[in-house]
Structure formats: C-alpha cells, structure tokens
Amino acid sequence: MKVSAALLWITGLAEAFLAIPFIGGGFVLSTGYGVLGVMFVLHAVTLFFCFREFSPKSGPILGLITSLLAWIPLVGWALHLITAIVLFVNAYVAGRTRAI
C-alpha cells in the first residue's frame, strides 16, 4: 500500500470522528482547538505524499481548508463530514492505482 493511501485513510477516519455531533465538537473544544492545528499539519503531510506518489489531492486540500474554518460551529461539522467522505473516496482511488 502506498503511504499516501494509508495517510488518506487515517485522515479520513480522524475527520469522520470530528464530524460526530457533540463528541467531535466536544473533543475540539476540550483541546482548545489544538486538534485543528494537528489536523492541519497532518493534512499538509498527506498532501506532500499525494504529490510525491501521484495520488488524488482534493481530500488533503479540502482538509486544510476545513482545519482553518472548523472553529465555526455548524460550518465546522459540515466541513468535517464532507472532508471525511472526500478523503475516503481519495483513499479508495489511491489504493486501487498501482505504484509506479
């Protein structure tokens, strides 16, 4: 499995967790929004590997945007949910393509 595909699955699972109503929001608030900074870095690392391994890039780019805007209550929930779905699709596609 390519590194980018594994990172896409990991970031997708993390975004899906953050999209759970009240639980994800409670986690974000309990960390003082620090988890959004961690997710920003994780999405940046994933994007680096996606460029390196020619994997889909829409998920990590959307993840970076989500990390910047997720402090807005309902917008954050919707962005986490959409980003998780896009990352799962990207991970599936990246896992199906053969490494060069």
What residue spans define the domains of the chain?
Answer: 3-96
Give 63-83 pLDDT, tens digit per residue.
999 999 999 989 999 999 999
Q: What is the pLDDT of residues 32-44, one digit of tens each?
A: 999 999 999 999 9
Q: Cβ contacts of residue 47 below 8 Å, gap of 6+?
A: 57, 60, 61, 64
Q: Are 9 and 96 in contact (CB under 8 A)?
A: no
SS3 31: coil
**CA neighbor of 15 nearest in space, from 51, 40, 49:** 40
pTM, rounded to two decimals: 0.93
Which of 64, 100, 88 has its CA nearest to residue 5? 88
